[in-house]
Homo-oligomer: A and B are copies of this chain.
Amino acid sequence: MTANSSITIRRARRDDVAIIVGMLADDPLGSARERIEAPLPQSYLTAFEKIEREANLQLVVAEDSEGIVVGCLQLCILPGLSSQGASRGLIEDVRVAKHCRSRGIGEQMVQWAVGQARAKGCILVELLTHSSRVDAQRFYERLGFKRSHVGMTVRF
Q: Which residues of A contact B (CB under 8 A)?
A: 17, 20-21, 24, 30, 33-35, 41, 43-48, 50-51, 53-57, 59, 74, 76, 78-88, 90, 92-93, 114, 118, 122-131, 137, 140-141, 143-156
Contacts and interface: CB of A to CB of B under 8 A. Distances in A.
Within the oligomer, what is the number of copies of this chain?
2
Contacts of A148: 130-131, 151-153
Contact of A44 (B44, B54, B84, B152): B84
Nearest to A133: B150
Which of A20, A35, A79, A125 has the largest count of B CB atoms less than 10 A from its CB? A79
| A interface, over-half SS | mixed
Nearest to A29: B82
A47 B128 contact: no
A74 to B, nearest CB: 6
Nearest to A51: B79
Contacts of A43: 84-86
Given A78-B57, A93-B81, A124 B156 contact: yes
Enumerate the 3 nearest inter-chain pairs by beta-carbon distance, A residue then B residue, closest first: A149-B151, A47-B85, A50-B79
A152 B129 contact: yes
B124 A154 contact: yes
